[in-house]
Amino acid sequence: MTNNDALVGKKIVLGVTGSIAAYKSADLVRRLGDAGAELRVVMTKGACEFITPLTLQTLSGHPVAIELLDADQESAMGHIKLARWADWILIAPASADTIARLAQGRADDLLTSLCLASESPLVIAPAMNNKMWENQATQENLAQLQARGVQLLGPASGDQACGEQGAGRLLEPTDIVAGLSKLVVPAKLRGKRVMITAGPTYEPIDPVRFIGNRSSGKMGFAMAAAAVEAGADVVLIAGPVHLMTPHGVRRINVETAQQMNDAVIDNVHTCDIFVGCAAVADFQLETVAENKIKKTKHEKLHLDLIPTLDIVSAVASLPDKPFVVGFAAETEQVADYAQDKLNTKGLDMIAANQVGANMGFAVDNNALQVFWPQGTQAFPLTAKTQLARDLMTLIIERYNAKDST
Ligand code: C5P
């Protein structure tokens, strides 16, 4: 998939740290600007030993921020404001020292404070001597950062400034721009409305008990954040989960399948894209007991269940239906069942994943196989936050392709 204009209008803080590769940052600033990004450069003191702030200020067209406690800079755009401003933070080159300080969660200079204060995704392009790169300390720091969702671009292998050979070279600026473009959701849903359902539903048995499932809501919430990143106006219909509402999302909390259905139907009419991520219960009690059902030692308890409404199918059969994306969580024959659901539910696209022991539900990583009437695409195991961005990028592509036919 080409993602050439993914960076158009994206607000990027570029962190430059102390490495000989900092000289490449000048080219990187130019290329990020050419790709349409809005840039603010933050340098560590170490970086200033290799390249002057004036160079990056001239190329970026904005003052370069260096000091954490600089009254002038704080009044222009303080670190908290910068942290909120950024859609993405890219650190290139990222030195071994900066990686270590990020891993520790330190806030001893402007760049690390900014990273700690920001909810924006962080991407690092390391650059260091190959022995420093291979050192267990560096590798452990990186593993920690990656476990927290930090993404890595590079490093490359080859001749190093120190005369050695091996891994640790900063990727070329063109490769960094291409790598970042692949991660970002292009802002192509401005003026569009996206509705997403997320989480489980709870179907009450009596006033204290319910039938539920193991859905964490993480994928749906990540999809909502990705839709905001695409510039959409986002409504999230959330089942009972304890997750923070992504910035810029309008959230409606529901508990049962019936409530989720009602909230969707009340709000879906002006939607352009509907994504049914929720693990909606398939059955609800025919009659909910008014009082707590008393347990009896020897008698079996029979519960009469009736099917719930199929929300995604109901949306897909509306006369002015939006572009409808469903999910299929299966324990076996994933592709067959998913394609069957694509057809029977009348969907434009379905994202299938294998669920079971430590897979799919309540974990942070996932893999998907996506189907639409003319094609399919596999997304390998990755963090749900990035998987959601990749899926949203594909949805935008298919939505635009359908709209133009
Ligand atoms: O039929 P199944 O539950 O496997 O289908 C999963 C897809 O259908 C998901 O997109 C889910 O959100 C949606 N669904 C729904 N309403 C239901 C059951 C499933 O919208 N009652």
Q: What is the pLDDT of residues 259-271, one digit of tens each?
A: 999 999 999 999 9
For residue 122, report the distance from its CA to the centre of ligand 1, in Å.
Answer: 33
Ligand 1: residue whose CA is nearest its atom 5: 328
Please, are residues 254 and 201 in contact by the beta-carbon 8 Å criterion?
Answer: yes
CATH number, domain with residue 169: 3.40.50.1950
Please, are residues 170 and 155 in contact by the beta-carbon 8 Å criterion?
Answer: yes
Residue 327 CA neighbour count, 13 Å, CB half: 28
- Residues of the domain holding 358: 193-403
The interaxial angle of helices 24-34 and 53-60, nearest 10 deg, is: 10
For a ligand 1 pocket test, name from 213, 308, 310 the mutation site with the most ligand atoms within 8 angstroms of its C-beta.
310
**CA atoms of 55 and 115, how far apart (whole Å):** 23
pLDDT at position 249: 97
pLDDT at position 297: 75
Ligand 1: residue whose CA is nearest its atom 17: 310
In angstroms and rounded to an integer, the radius of gyration of the C-alpha atoms of the chain is 24
Tell me how many domains the chain contains: 2
Domain co-membership, 229 together with 319: yes
Ligand 1: residue whose CA is nearest its atom 9: 327
Domain co-membership, 138 together with 225: no
User: For residue 258, what are its two tokens?
Assistant: 């019936």
Atom of ligand 1 nearest to the CA of 328: 6
Q: What is the pLDDT of residues 374-401, one digit of tens each?
A: 999 999 999 999 999 999 999 999 999 9
Which residues have C-beta atoms less than 6 Å from ligand 1?
Answer: 197, 257, 276, 278, 280, 282, 308-312, 326-328, 341
Residue 1 placed within a domain: no
For residue 327, report the distance from its CA to the centre of ligand 1, in Å.
Answer: 7
Domain boundary residue, one of 140, 164, 183: 183
CATH number, domain with residue 348: 3.40.50.10300
Domain boundary residue, one of 165, 183, 201: 183
**Helix, strand, coil percent content, the chain, rounded in steps of 5:** 35, 25, 40
- CA-closest candidate to residue 179, choices 384, 31, 357: 31
Residue 38 placed within a domain: yes
Ligand 1: residue whose CA is nearest its atom 21: 310
Ligand 1: residue whose CA is nearest its atom 4: 328
Domain co-membership, 88 together with 208: no
For a ligand 1 pocket test, name from 273, 311, 348 the mutation site with the most ligand atoms within 8 angstroms of its C-beta.
311
Please give the full DSSP string across 236-267, using - where no structure is assigned: EEE-S---PPPTTEEEEE--SHHHHHHHHHHH
User: For residue 46, what are its two tokens?
Assistant: 């170490």
Atom of ligand 1 nearest to the CA of 282: 21
For residue 354, report the distance from its CA to the centre of ligand 1, in Å.
Answer: 15
Domain co-membership, 178 together with 199: no
CA distance readout (Å), 314 to 195, 246, 343, 344: 14, 26, 14, 12
For residue 312, report the distance from its CA to the centre of ligand 1, in Å.
Answer: 6
Please, are residues 278 and 267 in contact by the beta-carbon 8 Å criterion?
Answer: no
Please, are residues 16 and 25 in contact by the beta-carbon 8 Å criterion?
Answer: yes
Domain co-membership, 394 together with 284: yes
pLDDT at position 156: 94
For residue 249, report the distance from its CA to the centre of ligand 1, in Å.
Answer: 22
Residue 127 placed within a domain: yes
Q: What is the pLDDT along the chain (405 residues), one digit of tens a residue?
A: 446 799 999 999 999 999 999 999 999 999 999 999 999 999 999 999 999 999 999 999 999 988 876 666 665 567 788 999 999 999 999 999 999 999 999 999 999 999 999 999 999 999 999 999 999 999 999 999 999 999 999 999 988 777 878 889 999 999 999 999 999 999 999 999 999 999 999 999 999 999 999 899 999 999 999 999 999 999 999 999 999 999 999 999 999 999 999 999 999 999 999 999 999 999 999 999 999 999 887 788 999 999 999 999 999 999 999 999 999 988 888 889 999 999 999 999 999 988 766 666 667 888 999 999 999 999 999 999 999 999 999 999 999 998 776
The pTM of this model reads: 0.91
pLDDT at position 77: 62
pLDDT at position 3: 64
For residue 313, report the distance from its CA to the centre of ligand 1, in Å.
Answer: 8
State the catalytic residues.
162
